[in-house]
Amino acid sequence: MCIGGRMRKAIGRFLVFMSVFIIIAIGYIVWHQHGLYKEGTDVYNEIRNKATDFPDRNLSSRKEQSVPFRVDWEALANTDTVAWIRFDNPEIINYPVMQGKDNVQYLNHLYNGEYSINGSIFINCHNDKYFKDDNTIIYGHSMLNGDMFGSLKKYHDDSFGRENPYFYIYLPDGTTHKYQIFAVVDAGDGSDDYRYSFSDISAFKTFQKTMKSKSLYDTGLTTNFSKRLVSLSTCASSGADTGKRIMVIGMEISRVKTQDAASWYKAPKSIK
């Protein structure tokens, strides 16, 4: 009995020790993860402060003063920046857009090249960086705190989508491109939902019709085969490993010259 009692006490102490160890380990992982998130967030807050007007996201102040949003492209010189993306709401989506040599580089690197689990917002490496393709695909992580494209999941709610139908792409040639939400789709990673080039207008028509039919709700915008699309992609709430993605597809409705081109901007050799 004594041996059995001592054994039970030893097992009990071991289980208590393991429980405490696991709690400490989980706490450290959460703390460390939070620190990594914050590092990336701080870097983007800094470049937002340096490179844009009204960096505090004071949207009402900007509207009251009728001041257009502008990008200081010189602050982004010597980077792989090809655009800037901004939403009125969710305002947290307000980032430089990169393009790497492949679709892995900016999964875990910030706009300045530093390693970070936040990664960057970036376009498909095969897309035209001047946004001349029929469908330009832009990727971003779905961060738990809503950073990067973490707020795109709000578009699962049809009322939110209808109340917030626009986003903007700013290009270093000085133009502002306004997009209206065309479709919100639950997409499969690597599926035909991610097509960016089309053999002819017929193929693009089929693509537009398919994406419209797959939309989770009617966004109020109909197909228009003369208009270019931009597809914003991030992981669904179920996580990256499932292969499920949410895709918010915008259709270009206006293009306006709003500022001077960046000094480092090089015009395309040919216009598609």
Q: How far apart are CA 211 and CA 193, in angstroms?
A: 7
**What pLDDT does 237 receive?**
64
User: How is residue 180 written in tokens?
Assistant: 């209206």
Helix (H) or strand (E) holding 170: strand 166-170
pTM of the model: 0.82
Only one residue has tokens 């469908």, namely: 135
Span between the terminal Cα atoms of the chain, in Å: 87
User: How is residue 247 written in tokens?
Assistant: 């895709």
**pLDDT of residue 1 exceeding 80:** no
Across the range 139-149, mean pLDDT stands at 89
Confidence of residue 32 (pLDDT cuts 50, 70, 90): very low
Helix (H) or strand (E) holding 7: helix 2-51
User: How is residue 29 written in tokens?
Assistant: 């992982």
**What pLDDT does 145 receive?**
82
Across the range 107-131, mean pLDDT stands at 95
| Amino acid letter for position 105 | Q
**What pLDDT does 242 receive?**
60
**What pLDDT does 34 receive?**
46
Round the average pLDDT of the chain to a whole number and report it.
85
Q: Which of 53, 251, 261 is nearest to 166 (CA)?
A: 251
**What pLDDT does 152 receive?**
94
**Residue 255: which region, alpha, beta or left (left: phi > 0; alpha: psi -120 to 50)?**
beta
**What pLDDT does 180 receive?**
97
Across the range 11-34, mean pLDDT stands at 55
Across the range 190-204, mean pLDDT stands at 93
**What pLDDT does 30 receive?**
45
Residue 76 burial (10 A CB sphere; 0-12, 13-18, 19+): buried
Q: Which of 49-58, 140-149, 162-171 has the lowest mean pLDDT?
A: 49-58
95 φ, ψ to 5°?
Answer: -140, 155
132 or 9: whose pLDDT is higher?
132
**pLDDT of residue 25 exceeding 80:** no
197 or 237: whose pLDDT is higher?
197
CB atoms within 10 A of CB 114: 12
Q: How far apart are CA 250 and CA 229, in angstroms?
A: 6
**What pLDDT does 56 receive?**
46
Q: How far apart are CA 247 and CA 228, in angstroms?
A: 16
